[in-house]
Amino acid sequence: MIEPHAPAPPGAPPPWRGNGGPGPGAQAWLPVRPGLGRFLVLAGVFVCAACGLVYELELVALASYLIGDSVTQASVVLSVMVFAMGIGSLGAKRLRPRAALGFGLIEAALALVGGCSALALYAAFAWTGDWGGMWASGSRYLLVAFSLAIGLLIGAEVPLLMELIQRIRRQDAGGAVADLFAADYVGALVGGLAFPFLLLPWLGQLTGALLTGTVNVLVGGALVLGLFHRDLTRRARWLLLVTNLAVLGLLATAAVQVDDFERAARRAMYGKDVRVAWQTGRQEVVLTGGRDGRPFSLYLDGRLRINGNDEQRYHRALVHPAMTAGPHARVLVLGGGDGLAAREVLRHDGVRRVDIVEIDPGVVRLARTDPALSALNGHAHDDDRVRVHTEDSFAWLRGARPTEPYDVVISDLPDPGITASTKLYSQELYGLAREVLAVDGRMVVHAGPVASRRRVFWTVDATVRAAGLRTTPYRVTAADPGFVTGPDRTAHTSSAPHDWGFVLATRPSPYDGRRPAPALGAEVMRLSAADGLRDLPPSTLVHPRYAG
């Protein structure tokens, strides 16, 4: 018998080439030393974990963009996915006797499902989003289905990887779990940082997901076929090789066609007259029409923001009641980078300065350079009295030190139900706006539709009052229902009357009882306390109340 420390006889296999079969606990035959083999498996864990987190973040981001309400979408995706990971981990125990083959096929399936999930969600929304009926929430159902499928596959990875690591070199379970989870968590960190800082800005959601799937299938296939190929039968090796090549072919074909697909999806959503589709770094901006007599439209992240047929009705109702109720030499516009609110402000005599605070410089650039949009806003950005500050409205107000207070503050911001906008409709923001408002100044707030989202509208009114301002709520009916949208991109399918709601606010004064009510204009309907909801709490930064 040869002692463990004695030299092996000539022709004997190296000690790292085990003779075990594919069953659990058997030592694997490796083409490399056990230390290197273990490192390669942990590297594979690192890459697969990064890919898995990218799939999660991609689903959250795309669902927030397509469906709205990022808090709800993130909660749905993460909770369903974590639940499914537990189920997948339990189900993977049956695959332990064929851990190498099982892991290779699971990675191929994960690459295909995760890589194509963004394409499938976008396609369902673009071509079936307006079907209504049972499919009115089809995109949400598909989101849950993808979260479930991806979670099941990610959950099945861990038990199989644990088996493969132990087959290289047996060690105590605690040490193996620590090594596995360390590589998994570090990979998740890299994937979590790569998505917002590399994949999303440089490749976009569709191409980024396809590239992630490609990396996933290459690493999973290389790990099994390169390191554990002796654990596979000839038939299993061919099955895994053909499956991986098929997945790579599908992902590559989709990547080649992704630009054509995206253009077709935009035409399905916005019509055939898309002139500009631009990812500015903050949002997707799409311009349609505006030439040859076709109506101009502007979409921000898929939500209709401007309709050339009806925008004047909206902006007149937003601007003129506040402007005509008193002095208006100095005006602050929060949002409104499109220049349309500024156009209405500049119609009034006596305006000396207009400050526009717009977070997205891309919108301001289009408002200045796009022929249709600049003609629609009357070239307001070329007026010497207009100054643009490209900054978040909340941050700008927090640091604002104006030499003189503003006579009028106009809040022309996205719908309050959009999660990213909740702080712009908070009691804290209205308190900051009050500080820059003149004693006899006015603030007007676009508060979303009244008829279809009554509670949200009256919550805005309650929040403005909680900031110490006296309010006059009013509404105007839209002539074109397509212009009225809420936080959900499919909100136009609502059967409720289409309107816009506004809140005109002033500082309290001992003379309030003797002052005449502000003139709102013929198109506008004043709302009284009897029309509203009583005793609504205000929305704050730590307790936003605009969901639903």
Q: Which residues are catalytic?
A: 412
CA distance 419 to 179: 38
Residue 29 DSSP one-character state = B
Q: In what order do the strands lie in the sheet with 284-288?
A: 274-279, 284-288, 297-300, 303-307
What angle is formed at CA 322 by the lines to CA 317 and CA 327, rounded to 5 degrees? 145
Check: CB of residue 43 under 8 Å from CB of residue 246. no
CA distance 398 to 396: 5
How many whole angstroms from its chain centre is CA 500?
25
Beta-bridged to residue 501, according to DSSP, are 475
Beta-bridged to residue 499, according to DSSP, are 477
How far, in Å, are 26, 41, 102, 104, 304 from residue 231 at the CA level?
10, 15, 11, 12, 57
Check: CB of residue 449 under 8 Å from CB of residue 499. yes
CA distance 178 to 529: 62
CA distance 73 to 363: 26
Q: Which residue has the tokens 């919108």?
A: 363
CA distance 349 to 371: 26
Q: Which of 393, 299, 336, 362 has the alpha carbon at shortest distance from 66?
A: 299
Q: Which of 471, 331, 347, 474 has the alpha carbon at shortest distance from 407?
A: 331
Q: Mapping DSSP to helix (H, G, I), strand (E, B) and coil, where does residue 386 land?
A: strand
